[in-house]
Amino acid sequence: MVGRLPSAAGPADLLVEASDGEPSERHLFRVRTTIGGGVDARRLTTDSGWHTAAVGGDTVAVGVASLDHAGVRWTVRRGDQELAELRSFAATPPYSPLPLLERVTDRRLPAAVLYPDNHVTGRRLPVLLDIYGGPGHQEVVAARAAWLERQWWADAGFAVVTIDNRGTPGVAPSFEKAIHRRMADVILTDQIDALSALAAKHPDLDLGRVGVRGWSFGGWLAGLAVLRHPELFRCGIAGAPVTDWTLYDTAYTERYLGLPEDGMDVYAHHSLVELAAEPVTGPDQARPLLLVHGLADDNVVAAHTLRLSAALLGSGRPHAVLPLGGATHLAANGTAERLLPLELDFLRTHLG
């Protein structure tokens, strides 16, 4: 819910941001609730894209991002009257990405493929699975800003793939709840199945050269992918990964995994540290990982990466650790951007 809108018919109505059948888009709805009368929802936005709003009294600021234009376009409304359009002074981005948005597998998972700007059909490309996958956040959205950095990766010579697995919002409550106490199995299965389905539709995706990168929950998922499925993922970049869920301080851990005392086996099953400590049984079982972590991270503390590194070292698995002195969880002030060339060198080295 964004806020409340005045109503002449009684209590204030609710202004709600929600999807309407297509999870890559978000729209605004005016919801009227009456005692004994149920709920009446009316969609207010008609143009495609990702809508947001802010409410103050009877005035509403509506923003919309889309794949057709850069940035967010804001208009100010009072009732049905448009008062003004807010001018943006933001710089024009150097890219105009056009991701191919699809729904794949029998679960209709939201997914996207982004090619280099100069891609020629028939030229096979290494695949970069740019991953998050965690609760409360969507990546496959119809907003250009979500794809600007990914276009940089694509233009560096990759087919960039992004997938919203079960557990992410925008589809249905049942879609989000499916990961309860089995996050690792459901989420990673969805990512792999969707990647295979996309490759069947896009023959230029070379599944013999797949790398994966992610941050935070996505860092955990990137590490999980490389450790559980080295036959598919040839290398991975795990930024600020949650490697031991008993160390994590965010409440959704217990929401999805339960209390530790009620299921330490569940926590162990989701632990990268436990997985990394398993013996390597063959050369293809040891795929390289690049671990990146801010030493001032107070969300996913650096002990996560240190414990994972120790386990990887103990089992003889190749990896490198890049500590970021003074950096917090967000790797702000240009740190994240300065990491990109280092990540690119790592991927090129291991994917060819």
Among 216, 244, 293, 319, which one carries the catalytic annotation? Answer: 216
Task: Say if residue 321 is exposed, middle or buried (CB neighbours under 10 Å; 0-12, 13-18, 19+).
Answer: middle
Task: Say if residue 33 is exposed, middle or buried (CB neighbours under 10 Å; 0-12, 13-18, 19+).
Answer: middle
Crossing angle of the two packed helices 335-351 and 148-155, in degrees rounded to 10:
30
β-strand partners of 214 = 131, 238
Q: What is the DSSP string of 167-187?
A: TBSSS-HHHHHTTTT-HHHHH
- For residue 336, what are its two tokens? 């994240």
Contact assessment for residue 97 and residue 128, using Cβ atoms and an 8 Å cutoff? no
Among 119, 137, 269, 329, which one carries the catalytic annotation? Answer: 329
Beta strand pairing status for 73-78 and 159-163? unpaired
β-strand partners of 160 = 114, 128
Tell me, yes or no, if 319 is annotated catalytic: no
Task: Say if residue 239 is exposed, middle or buried (CB neighbours under 10 Å; 0-12, 13-18, 19+).
Answer: buried
C-alpha closest to that of 225 among 217, 215, 235, 216:
235
Q: How far apart, in whole angstroms, are the C-alpha atoms of residue 290 and residue 271?
A: 18
Among 24, 66, 297, 304, which one carries the catalytic annotation? Answer: 297
- For residue 239, what are its two tokens? 């930024």
Q: How far apart, in whole angstroms, are the C-alpha atoms of residue 311 and residue 238?
A: 15
SS3 129: strand
Tell me, yes or no, if 216 is annotated catalytic: yes
Catalytic machinery residues: 216, 297, 329
